[in-house]
Amino acid sequence: MEDYRTLTYEVDGRVARITFDRPEHGNAITADTPVELADAVERADTDRRVHVILLSGRGKGFCGGYDLGLFAEGDMGASGEAGTSVLDATVQLENHDPNRTWDPMVDYQMMSRFNRGYASLLHANKPTVAKLHGFAVAGGTDIALHCDQIVVADDVRIGYPPTRAWGVPATGLWAHRLGDQRAKRLLLTGDLITGKQAVEWGLAIESHPAEELDARTEALVQRIAAMPQNQLIMVKLALNSALLAQGVATSGMVSTVFDGISRHTAEGYGFAQRAVEAGFREAVRERDEPFGDAKPS
């Protein structure tokens, strides 16, 4: 087994289990995450033993979004020689300097590569199931929404608060998964919904008490795994054709561009500056305070 920095991978019978494994950081996303996720998905997709891929998170929640603390410290975990790759922290930090000219395509090149890693879940031949507990917010939703089935704990919190300042969901999947009205209800406010609401709104397929989530998800995964592998692939390809015809790729491209723009508005620069001065937790608390759902810094 290859060692990963952000997740673990194992095959158990007909199930490939990919588990985000940075619990001390809320499984926050680093530059390694999309690369490792895509690699693990490809391993499962080409493994003749595997019928279904289960994605989950270790610790208190599924995924808390991007590790903005790393960005602030100038260490995004990127590979390559500093200054030569659009994934290098130095390149991105310079491109986010308000005293320099912003190059939107440098921003796009970086974020689009994150999206490609997440999209491996959608484009995998075999079905993918996400199990969400605790929290699945911001970039964590970018990942989860690419899965074919989403099973949630009743009390999980799901949403994209960065739309309040400094972010647009770069993968552009919300309207495709929820429809126009409900997607706008969440993204025009940055509000979160519970697992129960996610099922009511069609974002998730099942919701269960937290203590039952593992067992109930396992029951679903094993039912899928009992199907012939070729049938699973054919069904997913057929149904994905309808989703892709809706323009998922175009939505992702447009949303990625606007995600970059959102970090280069007056409000975006203001949020980033406040994060440098007081830390990201305090900047987020101040951002959320007017909405009545701020957490202590």
The reported pLDDT for the residue numbered 240 is 97
pLDDT digits (tens, 9 = 90+) for 240-281: 999 999 999 999 999 999 999 999 999 999 998 898 899 888
- Mean pLDDT (the chain, rounded): 93
> Residue 198 — very low, low, confident or very high, per pLDDT cuts 50/70/90?
very high
The answer to whether the CB of 44 falls within 8 A of the CB of 50 is: yes
**b/e 26-49 (16+ beta carbons within 10 angstroms → b):** bbbbbbbbbbbbbbbbebbbeeee
What does the pLDDT average to over 150-177? 97
The reported pLDDT for the residue numbered 87 is 82
The reported pLDDT for the residue numbered 79 is 46
The answer to whether the CB of 134 falls within 8 A of the CB of 154 is: no
pLDDT digits (tens, 9 = 90+) for 201-218: 999 999 999 999 999 999
> Residue 86 — very low, low, confident or very high, per pLDDT cuts 50/70/90?
confident
pLDDT digits (tens, 9 = 90+) for 14-58: 999 999 999 999 999 998 999 999 999 999 999 999 999 999 999
pLDDT at residue 74 is higher than 80: no
Domains of the chain: 7-214+228-291 (3.90.226.10)
Of 38-47, 89-98, 155-164, 253-262, which range is least confident?
Answer: 89-98
Q: What percent of the chain has pLDDT over 70?
A: 94
The answer to whether the CB of 15 falls within 8 A of the CB of 52 is: yes
pLDDT at residue 282 is higher than 60: yes
Give me 134's structure tokens: 């605790």
> Residue 227 — very low, low, confident or very high, per pLDDT cuts 50/70/90?
very high
Cross-strand bridge partners of residue 149:
129
Residue 81's CB is within 10 A of a number of other CB atoms, namely 8
The reported pLDDT for the residue numbered 71 is 57
> Residue 136 — very low, low, confident or very high, per pLDDT cuts 50/70/90?
very high
The reported pLDDT for the residue numbered 2 is 63
The answer to whether the CB of 138 falls within 8 A of the CB of 64 is: yes
